[in-house]
Each structure stands twice: as structure tokens, then as C-alpha cells.
Structure 1
Amino acid sequence: MRWRRIVGTALATALLTVAVPTTAFATTGDRGAGPGAWEPAPQEPFEQPAGARCDFAVRVQPVVDEVRKLVISEYPDGSPRRELYTGALINDVTNLETGATTKVDASGTALVEYGTDGSMTWYVTGPVLFGFRENGGTLPLGIWVIDGVYVVAFSPTLEKTVTMVHGTTHDVCTDLD
């Protein structure tokens, strides 16, 4: 029950933040963008060799990328403590050995909290694309679309622990065999 209260509070905070005009969070002075300035957060295309995420080499290429982020709070050194990500993101995922391609909707909304030790926790609603290496977390090797309401905790070594409140998981590698 405590878990659901925490996720509910985080998601409510994220959704309320999206609903409030950005001028309500505007900063003053010479701090630069800082908290309150929505900015583009483009995903760079990337490739993984065979065996890293799928049994074959794969490329992930955004074809629609309207993701933006809002820095909600920072640590004293100016690094982000909490950020909100939202916007349309559609990726082509391609098997580089066969040319088979599938489109994947990864347009979820995430409140991301960064730990000072390199850890992160994502509180998510909607679909997001996550890669899992062998023994890299709670899902097996693959490129996974996780959809619903869930939390993904990243350890400092980037192992991922997915905790579903409600939703589904699907390994995109299986669509490209």
C-alpha cells in the first residue's frame, strides 16, 4: 500500500507540473535555463551489436521526436535533481542483419529523480522503450516497451528494477526475428 501511495504522489506531481504553465516556474537572474524552462530533449539514434540487447545487431532511430524536459529541481552544484519528460516519441527499431523494422511508440511521461550516487528512479505513465542487457535487471535481455503506470529504478551500475503498478511489457526483439 505504501508503494502505491508513493507512485500515486509522484505521478500526481508530474501530471500537475505538466498542467501548470511554464511561466509559473520561470526563474530570474543569470542562472541560464535552470528550473522551469521547457527545452527539447532529443533522443539520438543508436546501434547495439548482436547479443547486447537482441540476438542480432539493432538500430533505434527516432522518426517523431517531440520530447521536451522541464528541470523541476537542482542540486546545489546545478546538476538536475528532478526532471519531467513528456512528448511524442516514435522510434524505428531495425534488425541490422535482415532489415526488418518495426515502429515503436515510446511517448510516455516520466518524472526522473537523480541520486547523487549515479542512481535514477523513473516514475512513468505510458509507453517507454528500455534496453536490458543480460543479467541487467528484472527483465531478460531485450529492447522492451513498458507501458502503463510503473517505476524503473536504475542502480549506479545501470541495472534496472521495474515495478509495475498496472501495465504491460513487450520485447521488441521478438518482432524483428
Structure 2
Amino acid sequence: MPRTRLIALACAVMLGLTASPASADVAKGDWELSPSSPITAPAGVRCAFAVQIEQAVDRVRTRVLATYPDGSVKRREFAGPLVDTVTNMATGESINVNASGHATIDYNPDGSQTWNWAGPVLMGFALGQSNHAPSLYLLTGNYTVDISASGRTVRAARGTELDLCAALS
């Protein structure tokens, strides 16, 4: 998967957008680095204020676990250290969060995705587009989330949640 697609995927997760499945351009099972880029979510997208997410530590790796007959990715795994600095752009206050969870993503033929993870992961939820309260969260534990063009559905949640918007208000 090209790095630009991985960056878009990571940004999509943090902002609560969906990403398209990508083709497997590395050999199945080979690990490759999956660096993210800093992103800014405008006020009202995740928090009442604009929020910026920058990577203080980013050694996340990814590998393809399964592909469809056409070569597109069916399942991808992510692992490795990730520490994000989340900043309230209105006040300059920031918080560092360990988002080094281990995740697998299943890419469905209809464009939807199912995320399964253990450990801490940043995830955003939009008002009216999820069965979860809207905000930007650090979700620590075991979670399963379905992501589609219409929103997010949390199917399993066993862990703790830190509302980063509330922490930075």
C-alpha cells in the first residue's frame, strides 16, 4: 500500500472518515513502515475547537494478511509504537497519548471496513453518525468498530475511554 494511502487511512481513522480499500503492492505478510502525517480537524468536526494531531513517535508497521482474487486487500494488520500529541488549536494546550494498539482491518467488498484492536487507538465519532458519543477518543482495550460511508458502529467495547476533547477543554 503506498504511503500516501496509509497516511490517508490513518487520518481517516482519527477524524472519523472512511477510507477505500487499497491494493496489496507488497508481498503478503511483509511488514512495512506506515508513517502518519500531522492533521488538523476544524472546529466542530471532532471537538468544539480545532484540534491538531501530530506524531511524537511513529514506528507503526503494517502488513497484508489476505487479499481478494483481484489482488485488493482483504485484511491488513497494524502494530508498533505510536505516540500522538493532540493540541487544542484555540488554547495551545496539548496532551500526549500512547496510541500503540495492535489492529486488524477487514476491507469488505462494499467499501465498508471492520476494525478490531487491542490496546490504545485514537478514534473519532461524528454527531449523528455513530452509536457512540461524538468526540475524539483514546480507546484502550478490545474494540470492534464497523466503518462505512454512513458512519461508525461500535460492536464490541471492553476497555477504557479518554475523551480528548473534554481533556483539552
Normalised by the length of structure 2, the TM-score is 0.82
Counterpart of 1:169 in structure 2 is 161
User: Which of the pair has the greater relative contact order for Cα pairs under 8 Å at 6+ separation?
Assistant: 2
Q: Does 1:89 align with 2:82?
A: yes
Hey, what's the Cα distance between the residues in 2 that align with 1:161 and 1:67? 25
Compare the two structures and name the one with the higher helix fraction.
Answer: 1
Unaligned runs of 5+ in 2: 1-23
Counterpart of 1:38 in structure 2 is 31
Bigger radius of gyration among the two: 1
Q: Does 1:74 align with 2:67?
A: yes
Amino acid in the other structure paired with 1:175: A
- Secondary structure in structure 2 of the residue aligned to 1:126: strand
1:48-68 deviation digits (Å, cap 9, x = unpaired): 111010000010011100100
* Percent identical residues: 40
Counterpart of 1:25 in structure 2 is none
Q: Does 1:65 align with 2:53?
A: no
Q: Does 1:159 align with 2:151?
A: yes
Compare the two structures and name the one with the higher strand fraction.
Answer: 2
How is 1:133-148 mapped onto 2 (pairs within 5 angstroms)? 133-148=126-141
Match of 1:122 among 91, 115, 118: 115
Q: How far has the Cα of 1:77 moved from its partner?
A: 2.1
Q: How far has the Cα of 1:160 moved from its partner?
A: 1.2
- Secondary structure in structure 2 of the residue aligned to 1:64: strand
Normalised by the length of structure 1, the TM-score is 0.78
Unaligned runs of 5+ in 1: 1-30
Q: How far has the Cα of 1:76 moved from its partner?
A: 2.0
